């Protein structure tokens, strides 16, 4: 396929707001793409060069892209910068200046971008600029528009992997009837390019049947539901295992022994964060097995008190520079609570009790890998007692697990249920809400110094982000400053197409839907103007959730569930 043809589809997608129409356009494109090219087309549609967990980036910031476009077109850099200030989008600027003939194929463009991404070491920045300029110089204006956006992660098509999965069903069956098959396969092997290639080559049933975990490829994590009381938990789940709920960083640990072995760690949004944890290098000494996938919580320890530290302390590890120094100050232990795969055996469909037996045989009680304790019961009073005991010990609460349940990615069914501490004051919500920041107002008075007054947040409804509250109080000066720095990097000139918002809440500045924040509130109320239909009252920022992407934000249905639970506890 010529890249110019793909660019035509990208333009159609960018101009389309209807989710179903976007899905149909994608299905049409995928149907006419060969099995050999389809993985590359899928990655490019998502603005990347591979599955998300590989973390492949081009490392070309805005200022470097100005130089790229100037070099590709023969124009002065100042003229390119002036055009960017006017248009606010690097793709539109590239389309204005780049006048190539457009004979490259999708594979040509993909491989050229991979070459830019792989270039590293001394002098690599200049080589990247030269290679990217050479590529743009060969592209027609419309193709240049989309290729120029890829290094900045701003393709601006308004959809993610989930819509690609829907499109694969439409491609094969002309409707969404195969959606569940595709999603189940993706949850275990979250590589939309490989999945598309397998479906094209093998057909839907064969490509999605019996997909097993692979060491080195993160599985979508299983998530806990909310239930109002231990009595309801037992009624829905029967006999359960009660585990402590830890305030750490959820990590999937992948271990492979041997000459080509490794230990890798992935957060719940499937980003590899192995560099954060030098301790991983020695975990092989504590694992009995050759290939293992574990589910765990990384928890920092306060060196003074030798007690578990909070999430924010653990997340000081996210700095890439000086990590050894940070690691020396904040010791980490990995509290393991599940096992998904061991030595060629897929354990995800096994009951909790069987997986637990494999887990105990695999790690036992070690120095860095700690086995999370559990108690079996079908007595609601016992669950309440365990919960109170964990709270008194400074933990967040408990997670209650159905003992005959398999490991099912996502938040489905009542297999896992969390029970967190309810705030003492009357009317406070019993759980926080993970929201996507959508934009902000610039602020007046003291807030003008921060450049930010209130920020608007929303929750997910499929691929759409719907508003639920504005937040302007409860932040420290330091949090205001940090938020402004983070949002400056995400600013866009126009409202992202997947935002659904009432005119009353239009912000001064729009930002891309990439930053997730954890919000506490006093209550949830019905709202005629917030597009989620519900509003958080007296909201306050708890923390930035760097371990979560927008795909892990709270959904509108989860928010409604919290609203219903609130009514029963008031």
Point out the domain boundary residue: 420, 446, 475: 420
| Whether residue 372 sits in one domain with residue 237 | yes
User: Pick from 228, 245, 244, 248: which is nearest to 236 by CA?
Assistant: 228
Point out the domain boundary residue: 376, 392, 420: 420
| Whether residue 450 sits in one domain with residue 365 | no
Domain count for the chain: 2
By the 10 Å C-beta count (0-12 exposed, 13-18 middle, 19+ buried), 384 is classed as middle
Question: What's residue 307's pLDDT?
Answer: 61
Q: List helix spans (H) across 74-191.
A: 77-87, 90-97, 106-118, 124-137, 141-149, 161-173, 179-188
Catalytic residues, by residue number, are: 245
| Whether residue 476 sits in one domain with residue 342 | no
Q: Is pLDDT of 339 > 50?
A: yes
| Whether residue 453 sits in one domain with residue 393 | no
Residue indicated by tokens 């928010």:
559
| Whether residue 464 sits in one domain with residue 405 | no
Mean pLDDT of all residues in 246-261:
92
| Whether residue 536 sits in one domain with residue 474 | yes
Is there a domain that residue 483 lies in?
yes
CB atoms within 10 A of CB 235: 12
| Whether residue 516 sits in one domain with residue 369 | no
CATH of the domain at 530: 2.40.50.140
Is there a domain that residue 506 lies in?
yes
Mean pLDDT of all residues in 355-372:
89
* pLDDT tens per residue across span 438-456: 999 987 766 677 789 899 9
Please answer whether residues 186 and 196 qualify as being in contact, where contact means their C-beta atoms are separated by less than 8 angstroms.
no
Q: Is pLDDT of 115 > 50?
A: yes
Distance CA 56, CA 49 (A): 7
* pLDDT tens per residue across span 276-311: 888 888 888 899 999 999 999 998 876 555 566 666
Question: What's residue 147's pLDDT?
Answer: 95
Buried b (16+ CB within 10 A) or exposed e, 500-520: bbeeebebebbbbbebbbbbb
Is there a domain that residue 443 lies in?
yes
Is there a domain that residue 149 lies in?
no
Residue 416 three-state SS: strand
Residue 570 pLDDT grade (very low, low, confident, very high; cuts 50, 70, 90): very low
| Whether residue 477 sits in one domain with residue 372 | no
Name the token pair of 151: 């290094």
Distance CA 513, CA 146 (A): 19
Is there a domain that residue 515 lies in?
yes
* pLDDT tens per residue across span 506-525: 999 999 999 999 998 989 99
Name the token pair of 469: 């509250």
Containing structural domain, residue 302:
225-420
Is there a domain that residue 211 lies in?
no
Mean pLDDT of all residues in 346-350:
96
CATH of the domain at 342: 3.30.470.30
pTM here is 0.85
Mean pLDDT of all residues in 56-85:
92
Question: What's residue 324's pLDDT?
Answer: 62
Question: What's residue 257's pLDDT?
Answer: 95
Mean pLDDT of all residues in 345-371:
92
Residue 541: beta bridge partners?
A: 519
* pLDDT tens per residue across span 409-439: 988 788 999 987 654 433 377 688 999 999 9
Name the token pair of 30: 């995928």
| Whether residue 407 sits in one domain with residue 275 | yes
DSSP output for 339-397: EEEETTEE-TTS-HHHHHHHHHHHH-S-SSEEEPP-EEE--HHHHHHHHHHHHHTT--E
Residue 546 pLDDT grade (very low, low, confident, very high; cuts 50, 70, 90): confident
Residue 567 pLDDT grade (very low, low, confident, very high; cuts 50, 70, 90): low
Point out the domain boundary residue: 420, 446, 461: 420
Contacts of 475 (CB under 8 A, 6+ apart): 483, 540, 541
Question: What's residue 325's pLDDT?
Answer: 62
| Whether residue 373 sits in one domain with residue 460 | no
Is there a domain that residue 26 lies in?
no
Question: What's residue 38's pLDDT?
Answer: 97
For the chain, count helices (H), then strands (E).
21, 21
Distance CA 444, CA 71 (A): 42
Is there a domain that residue 265 lies in?
yes
Mean pLDDT of all residues in 137-166:
91
Question: What's residue 411's pLDDT?
Answer: 82
| Whether residue 495 sits in one domain with residue 438 | yes
DSSP output for 456-495: EEEEEETTEEEEEEEE-SS--HHHHHHHHHHHHTTEESS-
Percent of the chain whose predicted confidence (pLDDT) is above 70: 92
Percent of the chain whose predicted confidence (pLDDT) is above 90: 68
* pLDDT tens per residue across span 364-388: 777 789 999 999 999 999 999 999 9
Average pLDDT, the chain: 89
| Whether residue 364 sits in one domain with residue 310 | yes
């Amino acid at each position: 396929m010529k890249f110019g043809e793909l660019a035509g589809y990208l333009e159609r997608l960018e101009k389309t707001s209807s989710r179903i129409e976007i899905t149909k356009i994608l299905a049409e494109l995928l149907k006419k793409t060969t099995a050999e090219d389809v993985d590359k087309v899928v990655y490019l549609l998502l603005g990347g060069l591979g599955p998300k967990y590989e973390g492949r980036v081009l490392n070309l910031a805005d200022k470097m892209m100005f130089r790229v476009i100037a070099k590709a077109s023969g124009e002065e850099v100042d003229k390119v910068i002036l055009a960017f200030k006017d248009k606010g989008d690097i793709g539109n600027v590239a389309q204005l200046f780049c006048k190539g003939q457009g004979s490259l194929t999708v594979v040509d463009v993909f491989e050229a971008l991979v070459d830019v991404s792989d270039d590293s070491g001394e002098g690599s920045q200049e080589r990247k600029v030269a290679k990217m300029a050479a590529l743009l110089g060969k592209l027609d204006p419309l193709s240049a528009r989309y290729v120029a956006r890829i290094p900045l992660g701003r393709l601006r098509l308004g959809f993610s992997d989930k819509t690609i999965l829907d499109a694969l069903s439409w491609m094969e069956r002309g409707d969404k009837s195969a959606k569940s098959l595709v999603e189940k396969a993706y949850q275990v092997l979250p590589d939309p390019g490989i999945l598309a290639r397998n479906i094209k080559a093998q057909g839907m049933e064969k490509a999605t049947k019996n997909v097993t975990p692979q060491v080195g490829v993160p599985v979508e994590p299983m998530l806990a539901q909310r239930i109002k009381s231990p009595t309801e938990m037992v009624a829905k789940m029967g006999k359960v295992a009660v585990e402590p709920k830890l305030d750490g960083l959820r990590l999937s640990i992948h271990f492979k022994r041997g000459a080509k072995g490794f230990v890798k760690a992935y957060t719940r949004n499937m980003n590899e964060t192995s560099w954060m944890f030098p301790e991983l290098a020695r975990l092989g000494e504590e694992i009995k097995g050759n290939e293992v996938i574990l589910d765990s919580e990384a928890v920092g320890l306060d060196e003074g008190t030798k007690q578990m530290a909070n999430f924010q302390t653990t997340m000081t590890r996210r700095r890439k520079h000086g990590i050894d120094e940070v690691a020396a100050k904040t010791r980490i232990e990995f509290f393991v609570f599940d096992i998904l795969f061991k030595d060629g055996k897929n354990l995800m469909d096994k009951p909790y009790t069987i997986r637990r037996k494999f887990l105990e045989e695999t790690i036992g009680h070690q120095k860095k890998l700690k086995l999370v304790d559990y108690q079996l019961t079908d007595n609601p009073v016992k669950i309440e007692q365990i919960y109170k005991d964990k709270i008194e010990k400074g933990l967040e609460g408990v997670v209650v697990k159905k003992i005959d349940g398999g490991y099912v990615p996502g938040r489905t069914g009542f297999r896992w249920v969390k029970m967190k501490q309810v705030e003492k004051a009357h009317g406070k919500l019993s759980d926080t809400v993970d929201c996507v920041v959508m934009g902000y107002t610039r602020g007046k008075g003291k807030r003008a110094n921060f450049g930010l007054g209130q920020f608007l947040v929303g929750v997910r409804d499929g691929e759409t982000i719907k508003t639920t509250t504005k937040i302007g109080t409860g932040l420290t000066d330091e949090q205001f400053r940090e938020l402004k720095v983070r949002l400056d990097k995400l600013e866009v000139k126009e409202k992202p197409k997947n935002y659904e918002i009432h005119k009353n809440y239009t912000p001064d500045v729009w930002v891309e839907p990439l930053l997730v924040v954890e919000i506490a509130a006093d209550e949830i109320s019905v709202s005629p103007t917030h597009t989620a239909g519900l509003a958080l009252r007296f909201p306050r920022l708890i923390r930035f959730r760097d371990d979560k992407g927008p795909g892990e934000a709270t959904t509108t249905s989860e928010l409604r569930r919290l609203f219903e639970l609130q009514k029963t506890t008031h």
